[in-house]
């Protein structure tokens, strides 16, 4: 998610703005902008009529990389508890892993097969990779500097210590030796390298050590090199007993133990050096669903292959000699630009295990209890409540429990006939799946549309599919070539001799754990037209037939993109007529060129456009004569922003939509998605006020600049600090009923 400068010529020279931008990103400083700066500058005279000009677009992979950089910056924010700052630093590592496994791997694959394709920004894959390498190297260095120079010393003040080998006491050394002998050595399998023991095939992201040896073994071999793969079942950090390490929480890295006792693994040989390394591989599944008869069976085979894809990145300890790192690069067919030398553990994500220390609640976020609307608190029958009014929930500030309760009641209710549900990421053992299993066992007609290809959740989804099938549910794997990303549930219930529909529609997944970490909307409704639309969409997914006409629901890949473009065009027309026109949109990513061009045209015409885009954004705001009426901000905070909300002034007859889709080509053209209206003045006003809270945040918001950089907002003068997530947490902790 880096910020590239304006691209004048994708194939030739790079503008000065880009160089300045990269320099700014690598520097360990945070630029801030006063929150009182003009929200929408006056339109300048210069106009760029060609909206296809590549200089108006930001490369999507570089934009995604910059989101990761914003995440890393949170580790420096002293307003967060200390362990939460560490967590942000580790999330940066986790995000980078996926970025290399999918995004970088995809760019490398284009080059390998001579299929380089430039997007709207005009940047070729090899150019993007060069910029990615420069940015990532700089920020990985920053990450380890933040860890070693700031976070670890601060943790030590709170008696949370990672004891380095140079600081081991005699008592600790003796304890480590016993632990190594009893718990590590019996499991580890060192591999000497020689003609009969070639370089081993190493698992993606596994911890390994390259060992330089001196001497001749029992068989007369003297290759001089060995590899030690660290078994995944071994903990990467080991807690030291208090009687050995002293008071507090003391830890030793597994890598330190192996370094200290590598000699024990090569009896009679001298270990000249032992250095940790970690390989990242292409983890995108090469599955052509058009050519398989059984998607589940084919996917099981591909999941094994994911562990051994082509290499894309090599991380080594910065103490590793050049001749050894060069040797590893040659083994993995990587270039020197794909080598990352780090000052610390190569597998930082394993530190997540200590971010929830029971002994230090003061170093973590204060716990909270999500609210439940008052009308649902004392209701024994949730169907009665929903039949009278729509209920809107904003997670995690409001509880996900009503969604689970709706399904639980449906499973037991003798009047419920059928349940249909989409599942994208839910977990095989979730409460949602438990309720679906109960419903099937209780004789309900249960149909689950499971998206097996939800990236990195494929194995879990295969397990839940098997579990539901065993309970008697009908399991459908969606539509070939189109991921089912829609979040919807439909319940059919017989009431007074008629079948009545109830539906849940959401912007997030049916995962109770994520509902405590992600911001998402849930709509519980019995609206006849909307529920009928949901039923039609399930029919399209489960059976076959022509596209069915919907009354209220927009759905990809059929009507959602056109509907959004039509509403943007309508605001453009209002502005052209001299009428007020305003668009507010909040989502995760903006990459679709058609949507971006429509927003540029709207801005040129005078539409005020406020975008809250958490991650990738390929649009450049504030460009003279093109996007001067567009402001883009990103909110990074305690919760992962995940809601998709679209507001249109519509000549005063305001319209509000919630959606499972971002404004990306994959969502709008290649997925099954839903976009549904929020109706009734009270609910529209509520969501609008919540959106306005995001637009006025001046502590955790980052403003996208015309040159692609993000700068952080900060209160100025006597302005009060505004944190939208904290405000929502405080406001919604007291249950307030949201009704139409």
Please determine, for residue 568, whether its predicted confidence score (pLDDT) is greater than 70. yes
E-strand ranges in 637-709 read 640-641, 645-648, 655-659, 671-678, 701-704
Its pTM stands at 0.88
Measured distance CA(702)–CA(697) in Å, rounded: 9
Judged on CB neighbours under 10 Å (0-12, 13-18, 19+), 556 is buried
CATH class entry, domain 374-477+484-550: alpha beta
Please determine, for residue 205, whether its predicted confidence score (pLDDT) is greater than 90. yes
Angle of helix 431-441 versus helix 458-470 axis, rounded to 10: 20
Measured distance CA(706)–CA(622) in Å, rounded: 5
**510 close to 487: Cβ distance less than 8 angstroms:** yes
Reference 322, options 216, 403, 212; nearest CA is 212
Tell me how crowded residue 203 is: count the other CB atoms within 10 A of its CB.
15
| Rounded mean pLDDT, 179-198 | 88
Please determine, for residue 733, whether its predicted confidence score (pLDDT) is greater than 50. yes
Measured distance CA(646)–CA(129) in Å, rounded: 34
C-alpha count within 13 angstroms, C-beta hemisphere, residue 92: 26
Lowest mean pLDDT among 39-48, 74-83, 137-146, 578-587: 39-48
Which pLDDT score, from 0 to 100, does residue 34 have? 46
Which pLDDT score, from 0 to 100, does residue 422 have? 93
Which pLDDT score, from 0 to 100, does residue 732 have? 87
Active site residues: 485
Q: In terms of CATH, what superfamily is 555-732?
A: Endonuclease Chain A (3.30.870.10)
Which pLDDT score, from 0 to 100, does residue 35 have? 42
Q: Provide the pairing of β-strand 237-239 with 225-229.
A: unpaired
Domain ranges of the chain: 162-359, 374-477+484-550, 555-732
What's 231's DSSP letter?
P
Peptide bond into 557 cis (omega under 30): yes
Tens of pLDDT, residue by residue over 98-132, are 999 989 998 998 888 777 788 888 899 999 999 99
Measured distance CA(124)–CA(10) in Å, rounded: 7
Phi/psi-derived region of residue 611, left when phi > 0, alpha when psi is between -120 and 50, beta in every other case: beta
- Please work out, in degrees rounded to the nearest 5, the angle formed at the alpha carbon of residue 681 by the alpha carbons of 678 and 685: 80
Measured distance CA(340)–CA(280) in Å, rounded: 11
Please determine, for residue 640, whether its predicted confidence score (pLDDT) is greater than 60. yes
Is residue 64 classed as helix, strand or coil in its secondary structure?
A: helix
Which pLDDT score, from 0 to 100, does residue 364 have? 95
666-671 long-range Cβ contacts below 8 angstroms, 24+ apart: 666/483, 667/485, 667/556, 668/556, 668/557, 668/560, 668/561, 668/564, 668/592, 668/595, 669/556, 669/557, 669/561, 670/481, 670/482, 670/483, 670/557, 671/482, 671/483, 671/484, 671/485, 671/556, 671/557
With a pLDDT cut of 90, the percent of the chain lying above it is: 70
Please determine, for residue 621, whether its predicted confidence score (pLDDT) is greater than 60. yes
Query: Considering the domain 162-359, what is its CATH architecture?
Result: 2-Layer Sandwich (3.30)
Q: How far is CA 448 from CA 410, 420, 543, in A?
A: 15, 6, 13
Tens of pLDDT, residue by residue over 659-714, are 999 999 999 999 999 999 999 999 999 999 999 999 999 999 999 999 999 999 99
Which pLDDT score, from 0 to 100, does residue 21 have? 37
Q: How far is CA 368 from CA 214, 395, 398, 700, 725, in A?
A: 58, 12, 11, 20, 13
What's 234's DSSP letter?
S
Same CATH topology for 374-477+484-550 and 555-732? yes
Which pLDDT score, from 0 to 100, does residue 17 have? 38
Average pLDDT, the chain: 87
Tens of pLDDT, residue by residue over 377-415, are 888 899 999 999 999 999 999 999 999 999 999 999 999
With a pLDDT cut of 70, the percent of the chain lying above it is: 86
Higher pLDDT, 134 or 192: 134
| Rounded mean pLDDT, 222-236 | 89
Higher pLDDT, 513 or 61: 61
Which pLDDT score, from 0 to 100, does residue 316 have? 97
Which pLDDT score, from 0 to 100, does residue 462 have? 74
Measured distance CA(25)–CA(131) in Å, rounded: 12
Please determine, for residue 320, whether its predicted confidence score (pLDDT) is greater than 80. yes
**672 close to 485: Cβ distance less than 8 angstroms:** yes
Which pLDDT score, from 0 to 100, does residue 297 have? 53
The model's confidence at residue 456, banded by pLDDT at 50, 70 and 90, is low
Measured distance CA(217)–CA(248) in Å, rounded: 44
Peptide bond into 382 cis (omega under 30): no
| Rounded mean pLDDT, 545-551 | 85
**59 close to 135: Cβ distance less than 8 angstroms:** no
Which pLDDT score, from 0 to 100, does residue 601 have? 97
- Please work out, in degrees rounded to the nearest 5, the angle formed at the alpha carbon of residue 77 by the alpha carbons of 76 and 80: 125
**520 close to 658: Cβ distance less than 8 angstroms:** no
Reference 180, options 263, 250, 269, 261; nearest CA is 261
**287 close to 298: Cβ distance less than 8 angstroms:** yes
- Please work out, in degrees rounded to the nearest 5, the angle formed at the alpha carbon of residue 652 by the alpha carbons of 532 and 525: 25
Which pLDDT score, from 0 to 100, does residue 692 have? 97
Tokens 């590239």, located at residue: 4
Tell me how crowded residue 200 is: count the other CB atoms within 10 A of its CB.
13
């Amino acid at each position: 998610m880096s910020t590239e400068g304006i691209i004048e010529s994708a194939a030739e020279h790079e503008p000065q703005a880009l160089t300045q931008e990269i320099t700014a990103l690598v520097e360990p400083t945070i630029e801030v902008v006063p929150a009182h700066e003009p929200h929408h500058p006056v339109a300048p005279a210069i106009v760029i009529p060609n909206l296809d000009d590549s200089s108006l677009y930001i490369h999507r992979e570089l934009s995604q990389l910059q989101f990761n950089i914003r995440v890393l910056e949170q580790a420096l924010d002293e307003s967060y508890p200390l362990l939460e700052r560490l967590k942000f630093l580790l999330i940066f590592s986790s995000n980078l892993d996926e970025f290399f496994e999918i995004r970088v791997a995809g760019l490398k694959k284009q080059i390998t097969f001579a299929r380089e394709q430039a997007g709207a920004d005009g940047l070729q894959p090899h150019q993007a990779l060069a910029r990615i390498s420069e940015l990532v190297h700089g920020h990985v260095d920053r990450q380890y500097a933040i860890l070693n120079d700031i976070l670890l010393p601060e943790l030590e003040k709170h008696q949370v210590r990672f004891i380095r080998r140079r600081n081991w006491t005699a008592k600790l050394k003796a304890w480590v030796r016993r632990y190594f002998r009893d718990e590590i050595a019996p499991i580890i399998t060192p591999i000497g390298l020689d003609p009969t023991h070639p370089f081993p095939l190493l698992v993606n992201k596994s911890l390994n050590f390259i060992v330089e040896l001196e001497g001749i073994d029992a068989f007369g071999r003297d290759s001089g090199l060995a590899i030690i793969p660290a078994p995944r079942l071994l903990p990467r950090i080991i807690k030291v007993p208090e009687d050995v390490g002293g008071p507090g929480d003391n830890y030793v890295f597994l890598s330190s133990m192996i370094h200290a006792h590598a000699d024990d693994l090569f009896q009679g040989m001298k270990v000249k050096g032992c250095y940790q390394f970690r390989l990242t591989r292409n983890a995108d599944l090469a599955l052509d669903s058009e050519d398989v008869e059984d998607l589940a069976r084919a996917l099981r085979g591909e999941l094994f292959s994911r562990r051994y894809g082509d290499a894309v990145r090599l991380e080594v300890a910065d103490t590793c000699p050049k001749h050894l790192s060069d040797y590893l690069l040659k083994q993995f067919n990587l270039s020197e630009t794909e080598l990352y030398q780090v000052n610390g553990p190569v597998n930082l994500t394993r530190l997540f295990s200590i971010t929830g220390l029971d002994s230090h609640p003061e170093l973590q976020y204060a716990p909270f209890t999500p609210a439940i609307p008052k009308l649902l608190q004392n209701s024994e029958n949730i169907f009665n409540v929903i039949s009278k009014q729509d209920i809107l929930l904003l997670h995690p500030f409001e509880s996900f429990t009503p969604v689970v309760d709706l399904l639980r009641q449906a499973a037991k209710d003798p009047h419920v006939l059928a349940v249909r549900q989409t599942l994208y990421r839910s977990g095989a053992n979730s409460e949602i799946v438990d309720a679906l299993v109960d419903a099937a066992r209780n004789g309900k007609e249960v149909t689950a549309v499971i998206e097996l290809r939800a990236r990195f959740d494929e194995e879990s989804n295969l397990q839940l599919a098997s579990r539901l099938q065993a309970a008697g549910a009908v399991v459908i794997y969606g539509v070939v070539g189109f991921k089912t990303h829609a979040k919807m549930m439909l319940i059919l219930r017989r009431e007074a001799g008629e079948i009545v529909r109830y539906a849940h529609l959401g912007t997030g997944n049916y995962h109770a754990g994520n509902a405590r970490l992600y911001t998402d909307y849930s709509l519980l409704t019995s609206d006849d037209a909307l529920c009928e639309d949901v039923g039609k969409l399930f029919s399209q997914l489960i059976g076959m037939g022509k596209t069915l006409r919907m009354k209220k629901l927009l759905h990809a890949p059929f009507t959602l993109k056109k509907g959004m473009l039509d509403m943007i065009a309508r605001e453009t027309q209002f502005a052209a007529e001299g009428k007020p026109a305003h668009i507010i949109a909040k989502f995760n990513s903006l990459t679709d060129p058609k949507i971006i061009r429509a927003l540029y045209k709207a801005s040129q015409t005078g539409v005020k456009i406020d975008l809250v885009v958490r991650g990738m954004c390929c649009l450049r705001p504030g460009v003279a004569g093109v996007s001067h009426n567009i402001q883009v901000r990103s909110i990074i905070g305690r919760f992962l922003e995940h809601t998709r909300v679209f507001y249109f002034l519509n000549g005063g007859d305001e319209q509000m939509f919630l959606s499972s889709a971002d404004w990306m080509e994959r969502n709008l053209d290649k997925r099954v998605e839903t976009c549904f209206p929020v109706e009734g003045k009270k609910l529209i006003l509520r969501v609008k006020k919540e959106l306005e809270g995001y637009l006025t945040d001046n502590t955790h918001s980052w403003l996208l600049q015309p040159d692609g950089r993000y700068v952080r907002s900060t209160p100025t003068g006597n302005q009060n600090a505004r944190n939208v997530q904290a405000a929502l947490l405080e406001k919604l902790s007291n249950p307030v009923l949201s009704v139409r």
